A and B are shown apart, each in its own frame.
Chain A
Amino acid sequence: MGVLPEPVEALLETALVCELTVVDPSGLPVTHPLIPFYDGELIYLTSSILFSKKLEHIKGNPRVSLSISDPVAVDVERFARATIQGDATVDDSDLHAGWERVLPLWRKKEPAIDMFLGKRVALPLFFERAVIEIRPTRAFFWEGGRTDRPPQVFELATAVA
């Protein structure tokens, strides 16, 4: 059992895509579809420097949210939806190889990543990547994906005041 409620973890563990929302310098929310990974404590996302605006935004404002919303992108018995709010950090200390620490989690969801990585020479900048680490502070859960009903709200033990 990790820091998130079990049904939210179940969604995170199979989700092929989530929507990461960051806040730009003008205070506007900006949402990016990304593949999420979870190790029981932190949520990880990885972003190429080609699409690195989101990284700049997180460095300016670390508050983010991440929703799992697409019924076809998760493999769970009973569909549900969840949104997780949290504080994010960007690890870009080694853009070339540092992100490979999430490769085992990535491989589970997208086995073809090894094939793409083998062709790194064709897309060298795509594989210069940062890791976004999200420490969850609050989770919202909608049974059956029904957002026309109020969500269960979980204030998480690791929440930062």
Chain B
Amino acid sequence: MKPTAELIAGLQERFGHAVIAFVDEDGYPLSVATEFRADPGRGVVVLNAIAGDTVQPPEDERVNVVFSHIRPQPGIGYDERRYVSLWGAVRRTEGALEFEPDRVQQWDEQEMSFFEFSERGVPQARRYLDQVSTETGRTVKPRLSFGWLFLRATRLPFLTATFVPILLGIAVAAWTNGFNWWLALLTLLGGACIHLGLNVANDVFDTTSGADEANVNPTQFSGGSRVVLYGLITLRTLALLSLGFYAVGIAIGVGLAAMRGWDLLWLGVAGALLSFFYTAPPLKLVHRGLGEIVVALGFGPIMALGAYFVQAREYGLEPLLVSIPVGILIALVLYVNEVPDRPADAATGKRTLPVRFSKDTVVNGYIAAVALAFGLIAVFAISGLIVRPAIIALAAAPLALPVIRALRESYEQPYALMPAMGKNIQLHLATGMLLILGYVVALVADAL
């Protein structure tokens, strides 16, 4: 890429000195620092002359001029990393070296986050690994410890999305019908397996569709696990892991249905199918802008009603109603996490809601959905459709405010959105836990 006049004009403000590098007569590169001034009008950088015969740059060869800056942070290291590397010809003038660049390479961590800069290096990393493998005659792969790899591949921390509706369904059953520990644990295990199967299947299909590779702005909340892309695990292993989770989850579901009533099976089949066809062809529901609805159903009513059924051996209105706000809030987790993935999703045909709609529509949609979730909690609790102490869940509503602010201010900045994505997960978790607490309070009050 050719350096622009704007880039050259900004050099003096951004950097204190230059380093000119060339190949000397012995064939070694030689780099020498010097002061400089920019002349953007002529497209040149004027370097102060360097003294000494042994360190003179040649006029007939291309040289590299580098500008580099860091800010030391005692006790930590440094920050504000940036550099501009220019290549071109140099010629001597009166007391100076006039350098006319024709190619540039640069990085400024205030313009491109280190995470994105690193992500853009992944193809080079893979090439290097291939090269070392060829040189050594053995397959060289990156590694992570089993625990970290499992956590990363399955995106284990997202299991809160499963635990909240299942615990909520169990809490409602405890209030209305009774409670069995073993059945509760089996329900949590089965739900977790289906969820992990979904997470891993999602990565399998996002890897094969190219969505993960196209995404150079992954965050800890979005952009997938990237374990195949990084070469940490093979696609086959990941697919087998997904099938394994689904197999265990389905087996537990069938077992629970056999023990507690075959009507549970219909719900289980619906949940497993929605989970699988979330990203799997031919339906690819998330590609059609239906991801939020699938997630709201799966991690709201389906999980909560299933957990309730296992305990109560029947379906009920109350677990359905109380799970609706939880379903809306977990759908909003997906919704916000899709915001930084927009460019990569759009490029690979994954037409999520943030891909389809403008920023204003997406932000207003978020506000409306939050208002609906908490409005429903208030109406259900006040009207007695769910236990009245569940109204304490409204205390979690302010957690939505920083998310709304960040969506408005940092919509185009994936890494600035990260704290808001975390807060959005807390909003779902806190609301769910407070609803559960409402049922615990009601149970305790009833027992007194």
Select the residue from B29, B30, B68, B132 with max chain A CB neighbours within 10 A: B29
In the complex, A143 has a CB within 8 A of chain B: no
| Partner-binding segment picked from B15-23, B277-285, B288-296, B396-404 | B15-23
* Interface residue from B16, B29, B115 paired with A29 (Cβ < 8 Å): B29
Interface 1/0 per residue, A2-16 and B, CB below 8 Å: 000000000000001
Residues on the A chain within 8 Å of B220, using CB? 122
Query: By DSSP majority rule, is chain A's interface helix, strand, loop, or mixed?
Result: mixed
**A125→B31 contact, CB < 8 A:** no
A33 touches B28 (CB 8 A): no
Is there an interface contact between B68 and A19, defined as CB atoms closer than 8 Å?
yes
Complex CA distance for A27 and B61, rounded to whole angstroms: 10
Q: A63 to B85, alpha carbons, bound, how many Å?
A: 20
Do B230 and A124 touch (CB < 8 A)? yes
Q: Determine the chain B residues whose CB is within 8 A of the CB of A33 once the complex forms.
A: 66, 68, 70, 81, 83
Complex Cα–Cα for A32 and B34 (A): 17
Q: Which residues of B contact A67 (CB under 8 A)?
A: 19, 31-33
Contacts of A120 in B (CB 8 A): 144, 148
**Interface: A132 (CB within 8 A):** no
Alpha-carbon distance between A55 and B167 when the two chains are bound, in angstroms = 53
Q: Are B23 and A123 in contact (CB under 8 A)?
A: no
Interface of B is mostly: mixed
Q: Which of B27, B33, B52 has the most CB of A within 10 A?
A: B33
Contact A16 B78 (CB under 8 A): yes
B52 touches A151 (CB 8 A): yes
Q: B358 at interface (Cβ–Cβ under 8 A)?
A: no
Q: Is B72 an interface residue (CB 8 A)?
A: yes
Q: Contact: B30 with A125, CB < 8 Å?
A: no
A window 73-114: CB within 8 A of B: 73, 75, 81, 83, 85, 92, 95-96, 109-113
> Does B140 have its Cβ within 8 Å of any Cβ on chain A?
yes
Please measure, in the bound complex, the distance between the C-alpha atom of A151 and the C-alpha atom of B301, giving whole angstroms.
76
B48 contacts partner chain A, Cβ-Cβ < 8 Å: yes
Known: A31-B19, A31-B66, A70-B17. A124 touches B76 (CB 8 A): no
Are B17 and A69 in contact, CB atoms less than 8 angstroms apart? yes
Contacting pair B70 A73 (CB below 8 A): yes
B87 at the interface (CB under 8 A from A): yes
Closest to B82 in A: A33
Shortest CB distance A158–B (Å): 15
Chain B contacts for A111, CB-based, 8 A: 75-77
CB distance from A27 to the nearest CB of B (A): 7
B347 within 8 A of A: no
Q: Is A22 an interface residue (CB 8 A)?
A: yes
Docked-complex contact A73 and B72, CB < 8 angstroms: yes
Complex contact A147–B70 (CB within 8 A): no
Does residue A131 face the partner (Cβ distance < 8 Å to B)? no
For the complex formed, measure the closest distance between the CB of B218 and the CB atoms of chain A, giving whole angstroms.
10
Q: Is A39 an interface residue (CB 8 A)?
A: no
Residue B376 at the A interface, CB < 8 A? Answer: no
Does the CB pair B125–A19 fall under 8 Å?
Answer: no
Contacts of B1 in A (CB 8 A): none
CA distance A63 to B25 in the complex (A): 12
Closest Cβ of chain A to B226, distance in Å, is: 9
- The verdict on A145 contacting B33 (CB below 8 Å), with A70-B70, A124-B144 known, is yes
* 6 additional A-B residue pairs with CB within 8 Å, beyond A19-B21, A96-B143: A21-B29, A23-B29, A31-B21, A83-B31, A83-B32, A112-B76
Cβ-closest 8 pairs across A and B: A50-B121, A150-B52, A110-B77, A69-B33, A21-B29, A52-B128, A67-B31, A49-B125
In the complex, 11 of the A-B residue pairs with CB atoms within 8 angstroms, ordered by the A residue number, are A50-B121, A51-B121, A55-B128, A67-B19, A69-B31, A92-B132, A95-B129, A95-B142, A124-B142, A124-B232, A150-B52
